[in-house]
Amino acid sequence: MIAVIQRVKNASVSIDNNIHGKCEEGLMILLGVANEDTVEDAIRLSQKILKLRIFCDENRKMNLSIKDIDGEALIVSQFTLLANYTKGNRPDYFGAAAPTIAIPLYEKFVELMDQELRHVGTGVFGADMQVSILNDGPVTIVMDSKQLK
């Protein structure tokens, strides 16, 4: 799994001009599921993100996690994170898991985050979505569950 994690003041995802999911201060997470990903990847990645100390303490030092600040999250599936752009100018997405694999793993990741946070908003898997964020910092981290093994 690949996650793009952004520290945000707020974020929302709209479908057909209607807000479907949102979060206040916390994390905007774009999540891509690879062919070889498993439930263990979802567990490992969610645990790392929940403990990631990227929020500022009273001394403006990044020393607090999303749980420490009682933050929220917005999680949106994004298969394009698995783009192979090495040949030609049109990326291929053969590394992205098929919906039969990706949807249950995306839902598992959301469930794991929802068990730990006050609020978790989501997009709709496979929908045409518009994401709005107010990035805080900006702080953006790309995480790959393979690197956490």
Taking only the tens place, the pLDDT of each residue in 63-121 is 999 999 999 999 999 999 999 999 999 999 999 999 999 999 999 999 999 999 999 99
Q: Which of 50, 47, 95 is nearest to 73 (CA)?
A: 50
Q: What's the whole-number mean pLDDT along residues 1-26?
A: 97
**In the chain, what percentage of residues exceed pLDDT 90?**
98
Domains and CATH numbers, the chain: 2-148 (3.50.80.10)
**pLDDT on residue 35:** 96
Residue 97 phi/psi, 5-degree rounding, is: -70, 145
In the set 38, 80, 86, 100, the catalytic residue is 80
- Residue 109: CB atoms within 10 A of its CB come to 27
Q: Is 80 a catalytic residue?
A: yes
Instruction: Provide the whole-model pTM.
Output: 0.95
**pLDDT on residue 149:** 81
